[in-house]
Amino acid sequence: MKLSIGCDHAGFELKEFLKSIFTDIVWLDKGCYSLDSVDYPDFAHAVARSIESGESSMGILICGSGNGISIAANKHAGIRAAIAWKPELASLARQHNDANILSLPARFITEQEAIEIVKAFLEAKFEGGRHQKRVDKISC
């Protein structure tokens, strides 16, 4: 499995941790690469472009709250970034919304919670059916 991953400075340590835990994933690391202050849209756009181009099919974004980085990614056509702070939310984002980016709030979850959230996101599948028509209405 190949995933794009990106973060700002608040998400850097969690990004590096997740990469060390999920070693079976080929990570396309779009930055940032240190704790130095950076602008989250730069990394949200890099991950979103990676998915738009087909370089990867899904991604993970991490910032302090998960909000800003999701907002930036969701400006891209075909991107459905969802914030999750519980595994159930990550599963539902995939099952009902066909989310292709998981956004994590690094300042509000533990490393163990992050592992469970990522697992739930990766294991869940889009259910289609009644959800498909709703997903089709998302893009403007």
Catalytic residue among 7, 32, 45, 63: 63
Alpha carbon distance 94, 120 (integer Å): 9
Any catalytic annotation for residue 63? Answer: yes
Phi and psi of 51, rounded to 5°?
Answer: -75, -45
CA dihedral (70, 68, 74, 121) in degrees, to 10, reads 0
Catalytic residue among 9, 76, 96, 131: 96
Q: Is there a contact between 29 and 59 (Cβ–Cβ < 8 Å)?
A: no
Instruction: Tell me which H or E stretch contains 60.
Output: strand 58-63
Any catalytic annotation for residue 76? Answer: no
Catalytic residues: 63, 96
